[in-house]
Amino acid sequence: MMKVYSFPQGGISFGDPDSPPKDRSTVAFLPGISVISLIQHAGDRAEPTVSIGDYVREGMLIGRARGTGSANIHAPVPGKVIRMVSWKSAGGILNDALVIRMEGAFELLGKPEAVHPWEGLSAFELRQLIADFGIVEMEGRGLPVAEILAGKNLQAMPGNVPSKSGAGTPLTLVIRCVFDDPWLAADIVLCRERIKAVVEGAVIAARAAQVTGILFAVTRGEQALGKALLAEAESYNISASLALVGSRYPQSNRRELEMVLRVYEKGENLSLGGMIILGPATLAAIHDAVKLRKPILERYVAVGGSAVKSPEVMKVRIGTRIGELFAECGGFIDKPKRIASGSPFLGRAVADLDEPVIKTTYAVFARLNSHLGERRTQNCISCGECRLVCPVGLDPEELYKRIQTGGDAGGANRCHGCGCCEVVCPSHLPLIAAIVNFTGREKQSV
């Protein structure tokens, strides 16, 4: 039996009966109206390359990247650009989008896929293709993958190091198949349904970053999947290995994952060197860009929550409005208390059901009042539960009290916003919001 590596302290284990089944996906209807956000990445808004009244083809470039952190945007459907819209998210961020009314013939959907050989391409040429097709880190903040593989944007990626780290310096590509949150259901289904694309995408990424090997980091309950990934990688001329990691949240966080992989490295007498960490959705997108010359036109999304009649993992065209996804899942049982994108842990509130699916949308959920309860904030009872679950070893209760009174909150910058403390707090204190606002940091991405 393989050894399982887990981070040493804190964290929580949980399930959610209102998350979708993890054994299948369904194909969402093509949207008659698509809302294509020009901010689907970590950097500046893409510059539109089309105008109102223009007709666009499926896969056509409609937004050009502007500077570091920005990525190209492509039309997910053919049709006519009928207007541009702007709105503010629940967090106050201004979004711009092109609205496309679907018209005309599809050039990619339903057609035989043209396969392009990539083995003879250089690392630079592979990264250029990945950039051209607008591939971003789909499980996180949307960092452009070409920049990650070239060793840029590293300050925004804890645990990653430049690919150009010196001759002879080891560098490992880590494939993060760590499912510590039931709302990562879309990644689990994608791994099973597109295992060949995930593995070949990993091999392409390894070539583009010039790494010395691939490591599949897989949750202990998915050992069969890990072995299948490893077996698929055997057909390529690259060093590949498998590490089983714990399923306690936030094991998928970069800090906790790298921590256990350093222990794995020592225990297995390996030399991983620097690590580039990518997830399965990103790798499948790399495969499609390089081998099929396709941008990100669709993605797997987990749709569910206690307010939703029939939760599903769906293959969804980018630009589909999330209200349409809930409708395809049977609609709402009753009026939801909360609608958000992402995991219920750290999900971003959705202000309008017309908000679209973007490249980084891995889950959307709607919850009922009866499921959440009143969630009324009460006085701290000093139970210490928040201290027990903090994976960084902080005292969230003490930090919260100091922040509230304007005192010294030293150590708060060590918090990476996983949200464990807030989940277990019986007084429902907004611990993470207070600490994150105090430090000026963003919440961590899965």
Q: Determine the Cα–Cα distance for residues 103 and 446; give it in Å rounded to an integer.
A: 36
Across the strands, what pairs with 27? 315
Q: What's residue 208's pLDDT?
A: 97
pTM, two decimals, is 0.92
Q: Are residues 253 and 390 in the same domain?
A: no
DSSP class per residue in 52-85: TT-EE-TT-EEEE--STT---EE-SS-EEEEEEE
At which of 291, 310, 333 does a domain end?
291
Q: What's residue 163's pLDDT?
A: 38
Blockwise average pLDDT, block size 10, the chain, 446 residues: 90 92 96 96 96 97 96 98 88 87 92 92 98 95 95 49 52 96 96 97 97 95 95 93 95 93 93 95 98 98 97 98 97 94 84 94 88 66 93 90 81 85 89 79 45
Q: What's residue 443's pLDDT?
A: 47
Q: How many domains does the chain have?
A: 2
At which of 266, 291, 316 does a domain end?
291
- Domain that includes residue 192, residue range: 4-14+113-291
Q: Quick check: is 210 in a domain?
A: yes
Q: Are residues 282 and 393 in the same domain?
A: no
Q: Quick check: is 240 in a domain?
A: yes
Q: Quick check: is 304 in a domain?
A: no
Reduced to 3 states (helix: H, G, I; strand: E, B; else coil), residue 352 is: coil
Supply the Cα-derived Rg of the chain in whole angstroms: 22
At which of 237, 260, 291 does a domain end?
291
Q: Quick check: is 187 in a domain?
A: yes
Q: Determine the Cα–Cα distance for residues 412 and 434; give it in Å rounded to an integer.
A: 10
CATH of the domain at 255: 3.40.50.11540
Q: Quick check: is 92 in a domain?
A: no
Amino acid at 254: R
Q: Quick check: is 427 in a domain?
A: yes
